[in-house]
Amino acid sequence: MKIEKNAVVSLTYELTDADGALIEKAGEPISYLHGGYDGIFPLVEEALQGKAVGDRFAVSMQADDAFGEYEHDLVRVEPRSMFPAEVAVGMQFEGGAEGDDDDDFMLYTVTDVSDDQVTVDGNHPLAGKALTFSGVVTGVRAASAEELSHGHVHGDGGHHH
């Protein structure tokens, strides 16, 4: 079976930066629903269209095609009193965007802690980076009606979220 809209695609992959340094490698195959369901980078999905089990692929992506450009206005310096006593670099907190009154929350990562301030960054750690996503197709199957209605792949044995 070739990869087409509404297929469940399984693949192993490596994600590298512009210098070829390994950022992430899938030890086990991942699966996504092919055809515009936002389960994988759009450029990768486009490159996989028509491929079959065993096919290799590599897609170079600029920041806009991957995790977006780095946005300096997503870095905030907050009073340390707003955080737990054990706050440390690398911790993550959910919070509202600056000046945003709706219920839109984003994930902020602590990048610096001083005696009276905590710096948090709402950018994805890979924002602003050009990346290469390469791998091998390990499986292709038709999606179930339930997977199609939910817009994502379900695990072995049924529905998993």
Q: What pLDDT score was predicted for residue 95?
A: 84
pLDDT exceeds 90 at position 85: yes
Assess whether pLDDT exceeds 70 at residue 10: yes
pLDDT computed for residue 88 by the predictor: 96
Quote the pLDDT of residue 47: 97
Query: Residue 158 corresponds to which tokens in the numbers above?
Result: 């049924």
pLDDT value of position 99: 61
- Name the more confident of 96 and 103: 96
Task: Give the mean pLDDT of the chain.
Answer: 91
**For residue 160, pLDDT beyond 70:** no
Domains of the chain: 7-67+128-150 (3.10.50.40), 72-121 (2.40.10.330)
Contact (Cβ atoms closer than 8 angstroms) between residue 152 and residue 30: no
Report the C-alpha gap between 19 and 129 in whole angstroms: 11
Least confident among 2-11, 13-22, 92-101, 128-137: 92-101
pLDDT at 158: 45
Work out the pLDDT band at 40, boundaries 50, 70, 90: very high
Q: Please tell me the pTM assigned to this model.
A: 0.79
Q: E strands of the chain, at which residues?
A: 7-17, 22-25, 30-33, 56-61, 75-79, 92-96, 105-113, 117-121, 131-142
